[in-house]
Amino acid sequence: MKKIIITLCIGSLLAFSCKNSTQDEKKENSEASDKIEFEYTAESALKEITSDEFMGRDTGSDGIEEAAFYIENSFQEFGVKPYFETYKDSFKLKEIEGYNVVGVLKADQPNDLSPLIIGAHYDHIGIVEAVDNDSIANGANDNATGTVAVLELAKFLSSQELKRDVIFALFSAEENGLVGARHLATKLKVQNTEPYLVFNIEMLGAPMKDKPYRAYVTGYDMSNLAEVFNSFYEGQDAFLGFLPQAAEYNLFKRSDNYPFYEVFKIPAHTISSFDFTNYEYYHHVNDEFEELDLDAYLKLVDDLKPGVLQLINSTETTVKLK
């Protein structure tokens, strides 16, 4: 296992005493803080990101700043470079400063192939009305599971030969109306960077029940993504399928894939295993690490890896809008 050196504000480990620091104080504290050494695993990342010290990761909060810092350090350890000048891609949410965390792995050989985006939102809803004296909505399934899936894919892909660039985007302000994703999509449009495909990840922390597939894809009928992805697993049960409730509730428009479809009219989908029956703590203070089916989650993410690699290394445009 790789060891990551993470520099954290000491207050994040001791009652989150940095919560009320000014921006200048945070910078000084970060520069003077101790270095904490630990072994990166998906499990440890989930525990860290969903801990009470991160205070539910509301956009603009100290907790989401700690989460962004954790993601940046993980990217740095995996060899994922900042896509822009720094990992942080800032935007305004009214008077609040938010930021996506965006990294890239470059293709082994320079080429004209469009990049593939792997994304997830790392924000959540923060502090809510208390239930049994707990007011922190930790957002374990929504969407620490997606966030860590992106980290796991970044770690895996960093050791593979890649035929196209891969952009890893952790979005903020998803819970505020897909603001971070819309900001990034618009920024890429201005830069004339059109992605090939957006593979967004949401809520993988509970296995699907009584379904002939492992996860579903939103906007199933809008492209052939499921068909192409399932072809990579010949001889196995279908990996991606159609969930009627996803169409009923128009989930295609309710996650960070949608702004990229709006801006570019490209295949842009979210995959999820939340089927409205298998996890009862959506936007609830009990959405915590202990409620996840960790073994099923880790297997699902591991099994995603070869299919995602084949998507990246398909040099023809195999995934197309219908």
The per-residue pLDDT for range 204-253, each reduced to its tens digit, is: 999 998 999 999 999 999 999 999 999 999 989 899 999 999 999 999 99
What number is the average pLDDT over the span 107-135?
97
Asked, for residue 206, whether it belongs to a domain, the answer is: yes
User: Which residue's structure tokens are 């007011």?
Assistant: 135
Between 266 and 7, whose confidence is greater? 266
Same domain, yes or no: 264 and 235: yes
pLDDT at position 58 is 98
Parent domain of 20: 1-39
Report the pLDDT value the prediction gives residue 104, as an integer from 0 to 100. 98
Asked if the structure places residue 49 within a domain, the reply is no
Give the pLDDT confidence score for residue 9 in this predicted structure: 34
Residue 18 lies in a domain: yes
Nearest 10 degrees: CA dihedral of 138, 141, 143, 145?
Answer: 120
Q: Is residue 51 part of a domain?
A: no
Alpha-carbon distance of 70 to 180, in angstroms, equals 18
3-state helix, strand, coil split of the chain in percent (to 5) is 35, 20, 40
Using alpha carbons only, give the angle 281, 123, 204 rounded to the nearest 5 degrees.
50
Residues 132 and 28 in one domain: no
Pair (63, 34) in one structural domain: no
Give yes or no for a contact between 169 and 90, defined as CB atoms under 8 angstroms apart.
Answer: no
Residue at 222 is within a domain: yes
pLDDT at residue 41 is higher than 90 = yes
pLDDT greater than 80 at residue 17: no
Is 150 found in the same domain as 27?
Answer: no
Confidence of residue 40 (pLDDT cuts 50, 70, 90): confident
Residue 140 has pLDDT above 60, yes or no: yes
Helix (H) or strand (E) holding 305: helix 294-312
Report the pLDDT averaged over residues 269-275: 98
Instruction: Say what the pLDDT of residue 37 is.
Output: 56
- Mean pLDDT in residue range 48-53: 97
> What does the pLDDT average to over 41-66?
97
CATH (domain of 128):
3.40.630.10
Domain annotation covers residue 268: yes
The total number of structural domains in the chain stands at 2
Residue 4 confidence (pLDDT) above 60: no
Q: Is residue 320 part of a domain?
A: no
